[in-house]
């Protein structure tokens, strides 16, 4: 696609706003019971805060009861600590683009964390920094994703203690969309923020820009059930104290990291999320935060995670209601699947999981594109197929406009009964925009499809991602800023020996 066409598409496809209602599954009494049970968990069972005395002290000073590393909260205390978290906030890209988080906006991100990648040409393999850069470039090139993501894959060809530098550099160099940094150690979180500072404050935004604006986030996971480890709490505080964003995401598989019944898991996830949100506000009142959740089921015969199941869909609806009662941006949904390839199972599970998040009121969707094999694999073809659905979701979120132009009275007058509308002035005026056109769906006849090579959806997606990379043009970056980034990375890498675990 020509650069001008890409620019026009980007301009047309900004962060979508929700013009359809959310799905309200539970009544007020049921929601109140879930909230009361979350309070009971925090009061009677409590949470463990491991190897982080400062976090324990912050909670104690706020009124929590402390017994060693166990922290307990009176009913209502944790919720009261969350009230300073903003209901909406804006992220800024290095080109000045603003990405609103919360309210009626829906921000979509690529997959996060897979150590493997796969495509039809080379099959399943360990991810590399080249794959990481490819995914950032593909994400930059599409109008359907609004955020560059974080660890879009785990580049195993770079030492563990240094790869965060290369990953953050890839986001900053090959894209201008907001992004996530490292959370695998507090010093890596600090490095991520410093690299963002080098770029933003060296590119004309001015000193102190990061203290006033959110440009980077950390994806913070609770060690369910009910444990915060020092890696997560300390990284959380690094981001919050720098006024950068935290996405607080309990990751719970029913029957493993919590009871097997969904209402119990909902209360647990709510309790865990609120403790993380509360900690961001104790670190810095007003720090931007997203109420996250990753709540799904597991196959109790094998222990494998399952996605898009009826139970997890219902829980997603309820999580959306709980987040709205807190008044915070919601992270849920995603094109989740346990399938090993982008087959029928993958798309059925992905569609069910993603649609649940959209109807639940998600403002922020990690794993919107590329997820395979329960999150172990980033699929290049799956990414393109998911993008196709993301484009359709943009259209669905827009809802219907009922006005004179859409009701098309003149078209009926022109065509009259029994006449086709293909040539009416109304059709000619609207045919380009009336319907979302999928670039991957095949609507040709069987004969045309066969003559074209009988390509199935994966083969069409394979050609699409290759073409997108071939067409990719990197966004500009100030050469002096790039030199400063490289100098920072060189200094940090030379300060420690390589570590591969």
Distance from C-alpha of 191 to C-alpha of 165, rounded to nearest angstrom: 7
Distance from C-alpha of 232 to C-alpha of 413, rounded to nearest angstrom: 65
> pLDDT tens for residues 400-443?
999 999 999 999 999 999 999 999 999 999 999 999 999 999 99
Supply the pLDDT for residue 4.
53
Question: Alpha helix locations (H) across 75-162?
Answer: 77-81, 129-141
Distance from C-alpha of 43 to C-alpha of 50, rounded to nearest angstrom: 18
Nearest to 111 by CA among 465, 375, 346, 484: 375
Q: Which residues of the chain have pLDDT under 70?
A: 1-13
Helix (H) or strand (E) holding 380: helix 380-398
Supply the pLDDT for residue 435.
93
Supply the pLDDT for residue 204.
86
Secondary structure (H, E, C), 223-290: ECCCEECHHHHHHHHHHHHCCCEEEEEEEEECCCCCCCCHHHHHHHHHHHHHHHHHHHHHHCCCCCEE
Nearest to 151 by CA among 140, 166, 141: 166
DSSP state of 331: E
Q: Give the chain's largest Cα–Cα span.
A: 81
Supply 412's token pair: 């009926």
Distance from C-alpha of 36 to C-alpha of 311, rounded to nearest angstrom: 21
Supply the pLDDT for residue 397.
97
- CA torsion angle 231 236 237 239 (round to 10): 120
The answer to whether 289 and 84 have CB atoms below 8 angstroms apart is: no
Question: What b-and-e string marks burial along 451-479, b requiring 16 or more CB atoms within 10 Å of the CB?
Answer: eeeeeebbebbbebbeebeeeeeeeebee
Supply the pLDDT for residue 12.
45
The answer to whether 353 and 333 have CB atoms below 8 angstroms apart is: yes
Supply the pLDDT for residue 7.
52
Question: Residue 13's CB: how many other CB atoms inside 10 A?
Answer: 16
Supply the pLDDT for residue 1.
35
Fold assignment, 14-25+86-398: TIM Barrel (3.20.20)
DSSP state of 45: I
Q: What share of the chain is helix, strand, coil (3-state, %, to 5)?
A: 45, 15, 40
The answer to whether 69 and 56 have CB atoms below 8 angstroms apart is: yes
Helix (H) or strand (E) holding 126: strand 125-126
Domains in the chain: boundaries = 14-25+86-398, 35-80
Classified as helix, coil or strand, 108 is: strand
Helix 186-202 × helix 479-494 angle, to 10°: 160
Transcribe 395-425 into DSSP letters. HHHH----SHHHHTHHHHHHH-TT--STTSH
Question: What b-and-e string marks burial along 36-49, b requiring 16 or more CB atoms within 10 Å of the CB?
Answer: ebbbebbbeebbeb
């Amino acid at each position: 696609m020509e650069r001008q066409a890409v620019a026009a598409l980007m301009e047309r496809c900004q962060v979508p706003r929700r013009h359809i209602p959310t799905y309200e599954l539970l009544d007020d009494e049921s929601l109140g019971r879930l909230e009361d049970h979350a309070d009971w968990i925090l009061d009677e069972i409590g949470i463990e805060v491991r190897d982080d005395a400062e976090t324990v002290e912050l909670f104690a000073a706020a009124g929590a009861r402390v017994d060693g590393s166990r922290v307990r909260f009176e009913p209502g205390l944790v919720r009261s600590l969350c009230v300073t978290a903003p209901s909406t906030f804006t992220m800024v890209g290095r080109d000045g683009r603003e990405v609103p988080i919360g309210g009626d906006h829906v921000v979509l991100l690529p997959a996060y964390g897979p150590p493997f990648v796969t495509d039809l040409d080379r099959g399943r393999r360990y991810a590399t920094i080249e794959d990481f850069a490819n995914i950032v470039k593909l994400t930059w090139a599409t109008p359907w994703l609004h955020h560059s993501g974080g660890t879009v894959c785990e580049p195993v060809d770079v030492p563990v203690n240094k790869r965060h530098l290369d990953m953050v550099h890839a986001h900053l160099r090959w894209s201008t969309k907001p992004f996530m940094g490292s959370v695998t150690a507090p010093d890596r979180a600090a490095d991520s923020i410093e690299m963002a500072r080098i770029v933003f404050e060296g590119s004309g935004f001015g000193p102190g820009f990061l203290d006033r604006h959110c440009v980077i986030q950390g994806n913070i996971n609770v060690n369910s059930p009910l444990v915060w480890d020092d890696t997560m709490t300390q990284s959380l505080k690094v981001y919050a104290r720098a006024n950068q964003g935290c996405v607080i995401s309990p990751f719970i598989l029913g029957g493993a990291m919590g009871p097997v019944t969904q209402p119990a898991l909902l209360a647990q996830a709510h309790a865990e999320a609120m403790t993380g949100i509360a900690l961001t506000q104790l670190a810095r009142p007003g720090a931007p935060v997203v109420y996250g959740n990753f709540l799904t089921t597991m196959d109790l015969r094998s222990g494998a995670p399952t996605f898009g199941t009826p139970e997890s869909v219902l829980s997603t609806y309820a999580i959306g209601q709980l987040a709205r009662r807190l008044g915070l941006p919601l992270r849920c949904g995603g094109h989740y699947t346990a399938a090993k390839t982008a087959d029928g199972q993958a798309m059925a599970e992905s569609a069910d999981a993603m649609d649940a998040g959209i109807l639940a009121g998600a403002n922020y969707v990690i794993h919107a594109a590329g997820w395979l094999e329960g999150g172990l694999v980033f699929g290049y073809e799956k990414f393109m197929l998911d993008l196709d659905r993301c484009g359709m979701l943009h259209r669905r979120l827009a809802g219907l406009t009922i006005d004179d132009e859409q009701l098309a009275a003149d078209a009926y007058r022109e065509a009259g009964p029994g006449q086709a509308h293909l040539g009416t002035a109304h059709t000619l005026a609207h045919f380009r925009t009336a319907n979302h056109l999928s670039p991957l769906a095949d609507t040709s006849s069987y004969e045309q499809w066969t003559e074209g090579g009988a390509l199935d959806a994966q083969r069409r997606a394979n050609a699409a991602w290759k073409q997108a990379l071939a067409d990719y043009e990197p966004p500009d970056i100030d050469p002096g800023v790039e030199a400063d980034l490289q100098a920072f990375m060189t200094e940090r890498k030379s300060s420690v020996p390589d570590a591969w675990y």
